[in-house]
Structure 1
Amino acid sequence: MLISEFARATDLSVDTIRFYITKGLLKPERSVKGGSNPYQVFRKEDVNAARMIRLQQTLGYSLGEILALNEEYRAGEHSPERTIEVLQSQIARLEERRAALDTALSFLRGKVNWIKAGKPEGAPRLEDYQC
């Protein structure tokens, strides 16, 4: 499939797809058509790869981390032990992020309640909350 059809199949913009290609995250085949600018042809496997990239981003991985992990996987260097290590590391990072978000939410809720109460003395102070 060509890039426009691939964009529809993955719900990604053409610009995002091109960016992923530039970064090496997607590697479509080149067609003989198109002359000096050969068409990029995507396979079903590329659709799955694009969905995996989006999932990994949702899980908090950077594009650099995604590229490194995907290259490990393609090279057959991703043992179950390595997978567990990577996943546990990401779980720890997400738990830290959740704690920071919980703190930020507490501050914002305190600020809203303070405003609703007519802004009495003792406004919530950011330094009272550890982010």
Structure 2
Amino acid sequence: MIAEDFSKLWNKLSRDWKLTLEQELAPLTEGQLHILELLLEAEAMKPSDLIQHLSTTPAAITTILDRMERNELITRERDERDRRVVWIHVTEKGFAEAVRGSAIRKSIIEQSLDRISSHNQQLLVYLLGKVASSS
């Protein structure tokens, strides 16, 4: 019973957040925001480096990166020593969109968390951490 209740609530919350996030991020997508954040942490990555962070195929990553490059969020640059290697970098526009997207996501989550006390927010994060670390 608990597992079913948790699953229903988690699915509803995830669906609601995703829908709101996608609407407010447009034209940026949640996937693109995630890639921008990964790139900003690493400064530069190869497309193959993204596979371990995303639940998708190399072909899908290429498609997403193509779209992001067309929208001037990223640039691709061949390695000077090994021309087979391509590095992905975030542009100024990409940086600005990452900042905007992170703020939107934070606002959506804070609106949900504001429904419960500060103590319960801390407890929720603690308990989710316990659940997440056991898997």
The structure with the larger Rg is 1
- In terms of fraction of residues, the more strand-rich structure is 2
Structure-2-length-normalised TM-score: 0.31
Structure-1-length-normalised TM-score: 0.31
RCO higher in 1 or 2 (8 Å CA, sep ≥ 6)? 2
